[in-house]
A and B are shown apart, each in its own frame.
Chain A
Amino acid sequence: NAGVTQTPKFRILKIGQSMTLQCAQDMNHNYMYWYRQDPGMGLKLIYYSVGAGITDKGEVPNGYNVSRSTTEDFPLRLELAAPSQTSVYFCASSYMEYNSPLHFGNGTRLTVT
C-alpha cells in the first residue's frame, strides 16, 4: 500500500498565483484532513472531510478551498497565494474520527514570494 500520497513535494509560487495540492489515499478511509505546519506552531487544521461530497472548515480555512468527489482524493486549492501561506502542508486520513490514528503524507513545502 502507498498510504497517503501528496504531490508536489516542493513548490514556489508568486503572490496572486493559484495552485492545487494533491492528496490521495488507498486505505479506503472516510476521514481526510489538511494541516499546515509552521515552525514552533504545531499543526493547524485547514479543512477536513468525513466522506465523499462532505467537507468542512477547520481552524484556519481562509484562503483555501477543498473538494472531495471521491473517497480517495482530497485536493487543496489556493486561489490567490499570499506570503502568509508559506508553510508545509500535510494531508492525512483516518478510519474513524475520534480515536483512530492519522496516517500522514510526506508533505508539500510551499513558498510564496
Chain B
Amino acid sequence: AQSVTQLGSHVSVSEGALVLLRCNYSSSVPPYLFWYVQYPNQGLQLLLKYTSAATLVKGINGFEAEFKKSETSFHLTKPSAHMSDAAEYFCAVSREEKGGSEKLVFGKGTKLTVNP
C-alpha cells in the first residue's frame, strides 16, 4: 500500500521568504498526488493535484509542487510567504488498482508559521 511522509511537523518562515514543505511518497505505480491546506477551525481545501499531465503543478495562492519520480517526492513551494499562508498543509496520495481501489492516504501534516 502507498504511504506518505511529510518531513517536519512544524515549519517557520519569515514573511517574504521561500516556503518549502516536503512530501515523500511510496508507491510502486504512478500515483495521484495532492496537497491540501487547512486553516484554523475549517475543513481541508485542495491546493493542487498531480495526475501525470505535467511534473510541475501550479495551484492556488501562488503555490506549486514538482513531481520527481526518481526521488519519490512532491514538495510544495511558494517563492514568497504571506501572513495569510499560515495554516496546516497535508500531502496525500491515491492510486487506481485493478479489482479494487485505494483510498486517499494523508500525511500527518506540516504546520506553517509565518513571522512578520
Taking Cβ atoms with an 8 Å cutoff, the residues of A that contact B are 4, 33, 40-43, 45, 48, 58-59, 90, 92, 97-99, 101-102, 104-107
Tally of A-B residue pairs with Cβ under 8 A? 54
Known: A90-B44, A104-B44, A105-B43. A98 touches B109 (CB 8 A): no
B25 within 8 A of A: no
B residues 6-54 in Cβ contact with A at 8 Å: 9, 32, 34, 36, 41-46, 49, 51
24 contacts across the A-B interface (CB closer than 8 A): A41-B108, A42-B90, A42-B108, A43-B106, A45-B103, A48-B103, A58-B103, A59-B103, A90-B43, A90-B44, A92-B43, A92-B44, A97-B101, A98-B95, A98-B102, A102-B36, A102-B44, A102-B46, A104-B43, A104-B44, A105-B43, A107-B41, A107-B42, A107-B43
B73 within 8 A of A: no
Q: Which bucket holds chain B's interface residue count?
A: 20 to 34
B104 within 8 A of A: yes
How many Å from the CB of B53 to the closest CB on chain A?
A: 11
CB of A106 within 8 A of CB of B42, answer yes
Taking Cβ atoms with an 8 Å cutoff, the residues of B that contact A are 9, 32, 34, 36, 41-46, 49, 51, 90, 94-96, 101-104, 106-109
